[in-house]
Amino acid sequence: EAGVTQSPTHLIKTRGQQATLRCSPISGHTSVYWYQQALGLGLQFLLWYDEGEERNRGNFPPRFSGRQFPNYSSELNVNALELEDSALYLCASSLADRDYQPQHFGDGTRLSIL
Amino acid sequence: GQQLNQSPQSMFIQEGEDVSMNCTSSSIFNTWLWYKQEPGEGPVLLIALYKAGELTSNGRLTAQFGITRKDSFLNISASIPSDVGIYFCAGQLVPGANNLFFGTGTRLTVIP
């Protein structure tokens, strides 16, 4: 079974640009989560999508946004990039939540802002 | 956001030794999970805990969900070189919120 896949692996942008990161969940998983892992820090929750809807949002500015497509894949968009946005962006997926379902992670997209 | 205090920050141990790390919070968590992350990879789920007092094993790994629901520990027995990595605890605060809060990680180095 294929795991969570993310693309691109690395992305280099300059300040003020926009970045789009993509995620394909494990087959059968309908929930997708996005986390930011800045250097030396733990993971910070960004966004949760389920069945195409945004279900919850972390403490990040509105220039962080995303969407989930009918095939349950997801995009994370970051507008007006700032230097501090440089981080590893991790996507996770899980089965639909009846009782809590554990999240499984991809290997991330390393976003570097110059 | 919620703060999960994970300790120790780093450990250097000899191969064959046992390892213990823990995670505490000022808030009650509904679920505790332990992940391992190696360089260039995403976190890999090791153990998930769903009930207070629950003790769960996965090979040489054992984790417990604290009775107060505010803490969890992870033990690794008879460490081997491939145990090297960063171990993160994570918790789900309330049912239905789904987002995880993560500890700052324990970096484990195993000396052969």
- Residue-wise pLDDT for A52-95, tens only, equals 999 999 999 999 999 999 999 999 999 999 999 999 999 999 98
The reported pLDDT for the residue numbered A94 is: 92
Question: What's the rounded mean pLDDT across residues B78-100?
Answer: 88
pLDDT band at B35 (very low <50, low <70, confident <90, very high): very high
Query: Contacts of residue A105 in chain B, CB cutoff 8 Å?
Result: 35, 42-45
Confidence of residue B96 (pLDDT cuts 50, 70, 90): low
pLDDT in tens, A18-44: 999 999 999 999 999 999 999 877 899
Contact B42 A56 (CB under 8 A): no
Say whether A105 and B102 touch across the interface (CB within 8 A): no
On the question of pLDDT at B9 being above 80, the answer is yes
Q: Distance of alpha carbon A100 from its chain centroid, rounded?
A: 20
Closest CA to A6 of A32, A41, A42: A32
pLDDT band at residue B94 under the 50/70/90 scheme: confident
Q: Residue A100's pLDDT is what?
A: 76
**Is residue A101 scored above 70 in pLDDT?**
yes
* Among A59, A75, A74, CA closest to A18: A75
Task: Find the radius of gyration of the CA atoms of chain A.
Answer: 13
Band of residue A97 on the pLDDT scale cut at 50, 70, 90: low
CB pairs under 8 A between A and B: 65
Interface of A with B in 21-50 (CB under 8 A): 31, 33, 35, 41-45, 48
DSSP sequence for B92-110: E-STTT-PEEE---EEEEE
Contact A103 B40 (CB under 8 A): no
Contact A100 B92 (CB under 8 A): yes
Interface residue A93 vs chain B (CB under 8 A): no
Q: Which of B44, B45, B99 to mutate to test the interface with A (most CBs of A within 10 A)?
A: B99
pLDDT of res. A62: 96
Give the model's pLDDT for residue B1.
Answer: 60
In what helix (H) or strand (E) does residue A31 lie, and over which residues does it extend? strand A31-37
